[in-house]
Homo-oligomer: A and B are copies of this chain.
Amino acid sequence: MKTAITELFGIQHPIIQGGMHYVGFAEMAAAVSNAGGLGIITGLTLGTPEKLANEIARCKDMTDKPFGVNLTFLPTVNAPDYPGLVKAIIDGGVKAVETAGNNPAQVLPFFKDAGVKVIHKCTSVRHALKAQSIGCDAVSVDGFECGGHPGEDDVPNFILLPRAADELEIPFVSSGGMADGRSLVASLAMGAEGMNMGTRFIATKEAPVHENVKAAIVAASELDTRLVMRPLRNTERVMTNDAVEELLKIEKEKGADLKFEDIIEQVAGVYPRIMAEGDMDAGAWSCGMVAGLINDIPTCKELIDRIMAEAEEIISKRMSGMLA
């Protein structure tokens, strides 16, 4: 399949693996890229320029296909060494970056000069237009369904994607709720030029996370995610578990007085324990509602091949048959 996104990133299939904390290591990115999608290393999981440079080198050892790096800009006191991370990306010869969080205007000129294509993750039309105006090459439009941070507008992709299509001139991919060939064709119908998947890629053989995480996704239904931290206006969609239910209890008790410190035990430093050690009740971890559509743990190649075959069948047979 050929779309503006496959052409922009030089990939075979219009499928991007979004940045995921403690999931987006070189093994994940290489597996997706080798399967014809765009794999993404999660910059802040590595944390330092040295470690990121090393991860990029490891990924290059595992694939000769294009891959990217996610760089998330968070409002934080102890900011990571963003200039160093940008340099590691450029020096590593990476040609695709997924930015997320705050506006990436400050780093864009460096990427532009180095010929790095930038796709920015947005949860609203106004943020997507902002990304376009500062020179991003594409945007990833992230609906209310998504795992992680959906923003505070709660607009699902059935509305958000066509709204983005009506407003944007740069290409965009759908993100949030994407699982299969049906998701891809629906996204393309609504004006997207491809799709981004996060949670779906965690439940693959190559995802470098504990088997318990994959099993939890397969076991979950579409009713098993929760929105946490809404009172802090930092809403995150996570898989429910004991820690999350405790967190929600604290949120309810504290009401408008909730402070980050009240829930720090449930959210701070929990990713290594969950993703590496498989301690599934350690805290809140990002997971999309799409878990309800995930029922197996294929290889990335099996997954992507299946998606593309299903998409082609929907277009060539199901849809065309209805028109006949």
Contacts and interface: CB of A to CB of B under 8 A. Distances in A.
A176 B158 contact: yes
Interface in A1-49: 1-3
Q: How large is the interface on A (under 10, 10 to 19, 20 to 34, 35 or more residues)?
A: 35 or more
A145 interface: yes
A157 B158 contact: yes
A279 interface: no
A323 B222 contact: no
Contacts of A188: 318-319, 322
Interface string A155-176: 1111111110110000000001
Given A144-B156, A158-B145, A293-B159, A182 B190 contact: yes
A236 interface: no
Contact of A155 (B1, B166, B222, B319): B222
Contact of A312 (B153, B161, B323): B323
A162 B189 contact: no
A162 B185 CA distance: 12
A72 B154 CA distance: 27
A267 interface: no
Contact of A177 (B158, B316, B320): B158
- Copies of this chain held together in the complex: 2
Nearest to A178: B158
A186 interface: yes
Contacts of A223: 153, 155
A68 to B, nearest CB: 22
A314 B162 contact: no
A292 B153 CA distance: 13
B289 A185 contact: no
Interface of A: 1-3, 125, 143-145, 153, 155-163, 165-166, 176-180, 182-183, 185-191, 222-223, 289-290, 292-293, 312, 314-316, 318-320, 322-324
19 contacts: A125-B222, A143-B156, A144-B144, A145-B156, A153-B222, A155-B222, A155-B223, A156-B157, A156-B177, A158-B158, A162-B179, A162-B180, A162-B182, A162-B293, A185-B185, A186-B186, A188-B322, A315-B322, A316-B323
